[in-house]
């Protein structure tokens, strides 16, 4: 069984950038293929990685009325799910996306969970980038992970949001081995109120990622942050955090 990582957190904290940099590091190890999973209906992990998406799991539902004669519905779904897989150098990416038109994301979530469950053991590493908030936990899109990183800003409210994620994971018994907080885009040292809130809630601090002008510049220009220079302070910080939790 490989090493499975989930990245969660509230919107705007840079969790997708963190997930993309983790994929980059794991690919660079050269110890086996990596599966990246964009489990966010508002997909953008592919943009961080610099990949183009042609089909998402969320779009599969729209074609279920055109199952070829002689093919079962389950076989058709499996075939179309395989078509959603984007192959890159050292890793694959699958994107949940959203269904076309009105309707909930439940079916797309179910297919995404089923695919990851079936295929995860074929990969040395799996990195799941979740949607913002906590609803994905209730839908059990993310489960059976070695570690979940709750990415947050340095505010007390951000730490409290991470605490709610930790608590919900425990209530739902999702089989996540460890939950740790990553404070992203930190300018300077952690403020004392933030440190106190981490201690009050009993949250494990995985580490901090400094505010990196390279990340800002890449985002401004629409360049994939997957291509950050090796000496980028954000990349180095993400690598150090991930290394602490790898077997």
- 113-139 mean pLDDT: 81
* Predicted confidence (pLDDT) at residue 120 exceeds the cutoff of 80: yes
Beta strands at 91-95 and 178-186: parallel, antiparallel or unpaired: unpaired
Q: What is the pLDDT of residue 138?
A: 60
* Predicted confidence (pLDDT) at residue 23 exceeds the cutoff of 60: yes
Q: How far apart are CA 67 and CA 195, in angstroms?
A: 55
- pTM of the entire structure? 0.92
Q: What is the pLDDT of residue 136?
A: 60
Please tell us whether the domain made up of 3-245 is placed in CATH 3.90.79.10.
Answer: no
Q: What is the pLDDT of residue 64?
A: 74
- 15-20 mean pLDDT: 97
* Predicted confidence (pLDDT) at residue 227 exceeds the cutoff of 60: yes
3-state secondary structure of 57: helix
Only one residue has tokens 């499996």, namely: 78
Q: What is the pLDDT of residue 152?
A: 97
Q: What is the pLDDT of residue 14?
A: 94
Q: What is the pLDDT of residue 103?
A: 54
- Give the model's confidence band at 117: pLDDT under 50 very low, under 70 low, under 90 confident, else very high: confident
Angle at the Cα of 19 from the Cα atoms of 14 and 20, rounded to 5 degrees:
100
Average model confidence (pLDDT) across the chain: 90
* Predicted confidence (pLDDT) at residue 167 exceeds the cutoff of 60: yes
For the chain, percent helix, then strand, then coil, each to nearest 5?
Answer: 45, 20, 35
Give domain limits for the chain. 3-245
- Give the model's confidence band at 141: pLDDT under 50 very low, under 70 low, under 90 confident, else very high: low
Contact 144, 175 (CB under 8 A): yes
Contact 21, 226 (CB under 8 A): yes
- Give the model's confidence band at 19: pLDDT under 50 very low, under 70 low, under 90 confident, else very high: very high
Least confident of 11-25, 47-61, 111-125, 216-230: 111-125
* Predicted confidence (pLDDT) at residue 184 exceeds the cutoff of 70: yes
Q: How far apart are CA 71 and CA 240, in angstroms?
A: 48
Only one residue has tokens 């943009």, namely: 47
Q: What is the pLDDT of residue 48?
A: 97
Which runs of E-coded beta strand occur in 13-109? Answer: 34-39, 86-87, 91-95
Angle at the Cα of 228 from the Cα atoms of 224 and 234, rounded to 5 degrees:
115
Which runs of E-coded beta strand occur in the chain? Answer: 3-9, 34-39, 86-87, 91-95, 125-130, 147-152, 178-186, 205-210
Q: How far apart are CA 209 and CA 188, in angstroms?
A: 10
Give the bridge partners for 36, in sequence order.
Answer: 93, 127
- 26-82 pLDDT, tens digit per residue, is 999 999 999 999 988 778 999 999 999 988 888 887 767 788 888 888 888 888 888
Contact 229, 209 (CB under 8 A): no
């Amino acid at each position: 069984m490989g090493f499975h990582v989930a990245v969660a957190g509230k919107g705007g904290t840079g969790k997708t950038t963190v997930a993309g940099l983790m994929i980059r590091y794991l690919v660079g190890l050269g110890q086996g293929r990596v599966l990246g999973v964009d489990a966010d209906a508002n997909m953008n992990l592919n943009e961080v990685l610099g990949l183009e998406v042609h089909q998402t799991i969320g779009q599969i539902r729209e074609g279920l009325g055109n199952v070829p004669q002689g093919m079962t519905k389950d076989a058709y779904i499996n075939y179309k799910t395989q078509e959603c897989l984007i192959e890159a150098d050292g890793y694959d990416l699958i994107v949940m996306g959203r269904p076309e038109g009105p309707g909930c994301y439940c079916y797309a979530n179910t297919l995404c969970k089923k695919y990851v469950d079936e295929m995860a053991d074929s990969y040395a590493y799996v990195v799941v980038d979740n949607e913002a908030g906590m609803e994905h936990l209730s839908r059990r899109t993310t489960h059976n992970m070695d570690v979940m990183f709750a990415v947050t800003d340095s505010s007390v409210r951000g730490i409290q949001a991470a605490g709610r994620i930790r608590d919900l994971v425990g209530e739902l018994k999702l089989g996540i081995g460890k939950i740790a907080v990553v404070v992203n885009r930190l300018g300077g040292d952690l403020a004392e109120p933030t440190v106190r809130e981490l201690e009050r809630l009993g949250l494990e601090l995985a580490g901090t990622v400094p505010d990196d002008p390279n990340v800002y510049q890449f985002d401004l220009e629409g360049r994939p942050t997957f291509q950050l220079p090796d000496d980028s302070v954000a990349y180095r910080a993400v690598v150090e955090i991930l290394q602490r939790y790898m077997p």
